[in-house]
Amino acid sequence: MTGYRKLSLIVLAVFVSITAFSQAKPFKLRIKIDGIQDTVVFLANHYGNKQYIKDTIPVDAKGWVNYDSDERPEQGVYILASQDKKQYFEFLITDEALITMETSMADLLNRMKIKGSPENQAWFDYLKYISVKEKEARPMRDLLTAADANHNEDSVKMIREKMLDIDKEVTQYKKDFYTKNPKTLVAKIFMAMEEINAPDDPEKEKADSSYKYRYYKDHYWDNIDWSDERIIRSPVFHKKLEFYFDKLIAKSPDSINAAADLVVKMARANPEMFKYTVFYLTTTYERSKIMGMDAVFVHMVEKYYTEDQAFWLDSAQLFRIRDRANTLGPLILGKIAPELLMIDTIGLNIMDSLGILGISNSEEATKKYMEHLQIINSISISLLQIKAKYTVLLFWDPDCGHCKKVVPAMRDEYHKLLDQKWDVKVFAVDTQNEYDEWKKFILKYNLDWINVTDPYHRNDVHSRYDIFSTPVIYLLNERKEIIAKRLGPEQIEEFLIKYEEIEARKIKDGIK
């Protein structure tokens, strides 16, 4: 972790304040670097998987970096970085009032000398030890590759045993340290880095092949002290959180929601741990590219984003995120699609003949609408009344450049599905109400499906279906439940085949 590498130093947003301090106590940092060329350096800190600039510090003519603060910074792993944002080294700020370090650009790690900071002494002792062990292991990895390529099983076994011995030495080194110094930040980082070794199934006669996986998952968080927020300000915690949800939890909203609740419950041991865990899970699944994961986002918001829990948000921010969840909630996979009462081209002509369209005055338009409401209702087409095993719900507009490619492709896919005897209909919704262009497009591309528009905007399709760009495709089953969304036309048939296989399996297993 001490390589001379490029940092990702990001401007801090709403979530975390990098100017906050945990203790009203003075702090002094003295760092001497022989051979340094920079006139200023950056002091940065880890927070989750990001690094944030805390301050800019001048370098004097003798290579000293002097940092003084009336209040002690939040404890964690910090970074001293060059003017071009390359990392010199990482060190710890804990509860020590004065930290003095001296090193040289010729060898930042091995020439490091520490005064007044037992924690940093332990930290750099470990980094030096790891550096030595890495040098021992590097040639072994090369030998292992060669032996493997030559199918020399005896050599492979011997080399792996030697590499395993090195791993055991490193593990023992860390265990010895945190046994003697359990409350230090170094110990907490060592503990968090410790792998869980799953034993063999004690009931061997049952031969449960999933035993080790379940043990590993159940004990995954054993080495994290959830009451100690310092672990967030290290490179360790975020990686564990990410690995847990990426590799150990099934990719289904129900499984992820259950795991999220379990982790958040543990994180309540510390407000900062709670904040980071909730924020990470919420933003991760809001941005997820996996279809259906917005259900996790909605779950997190509904359960944890309340005034008494989301203390890091002001009322306006809280309103916005809850409003977003309210929009997505009805659109979760498995929900009945929100109703749309739309007008087709024939109905539009009827409305035009009655003088209902093209009124610019909103008061007059509302009056006309109310006068002819019975007729409008009679010519409206209901999405939920469409009779088909599957309904493709397509949102598009004739001026959208991407729509000009996707909509004709959807027409071709629609005819292909019909030819293969799929019971499917397309409910294509115009989102812009540019009627002349809409009709021209329909005729030009022979869109022989249900083409509808919403001249009075009574359906509010943009917010009801989260349409912030077009085209957008939803796929509904016979019960008008949303079974897929934001598909491309070329994905529909493959999805339907897999969907029917899963549904048939559920019936066979007695789930449905």
DSSP readout, 454-496? Answer: -TT--S-HHHHTT-SSS-EEEEE-TT-BEEEES--HHHHHHHH
Over the stretch 439-456, which tens digit does the pLDDT of each residue have? 999 999 999 999 999 988
What pLDDT is attached to residue 206? 62
CATH level 2 (architecture), domain 341-508: 3-Layer(aba) Sandwich (3.40)
Q: Between the CA atoms of 209, 211, 212 and 214, what dihedral angle is there, to the nearest 10 degrees?
A: 120
**3-class SS of residue 79:** strand
Average pLDDT score over residue span 304-316: 96
What is the model's pLDDT at position 205? 59
Closest CA to 241 of 213, 276, 207, 216: 276
pLDDT over threshold 80, residue 121: yes
Instruction: Tell me the mean pLDDT in the region 164-188.
Output: 91
- 393-412 pLDDT, tens digit per residue, is 999 999 999 999 999 999 99
DSSP summary character for residue 220: T
SS3 annotation, 284-344: HHHCCCCCCCHHHHHHHHHHHCCCCCCCCCCHHHHHHHHHHHHHHHHHCCCCECCCCEEEE
DSSP secondary structure letter of residue 412:
H
Percent of the chain with pLDDT over 90: 74
Place of tokens 């986002």: 297
pLDDT of residue 132: 94
492: pLDDT confidence band, cut at 50, 70 and 90? very high
Which among 489, 482, 488, 480 has a CA at the least distance from the CA of 417?
489
pLDDT single digits (tens) 230-261: 999 999 999 999 999 999 999 999 999 999 99
pLDDT tens digits, one per residue of 5-28 = 444 443 333 444 434 444 468 999
> Domain locations in the chain?
21-116, 125-148+158-193, 210-331, 341-508
Q: Please give the model's pTM, rounded to 2 decimal places.
A: 0.85
What's the confidence (pLDDT) of residue 512? 60
CATH class of the domain defined by 21-116: mainly beta
Amino acid at the residue 274: F
> Could you read off the pLDDT of 203-225 as tens digits, one per residue?
765 667 788 899 999 999 999 99
Task: Tell me if 21-116 shares its fold with 341-508.
Answer: no
One-letter identity of residue 238? H
Residues 162, 167: Cα–Cα separation, whole Å: 9
pLDDT of residue 207: 62
Q: Which residue has the higher pLDDT, 389 or 2?
A: 389
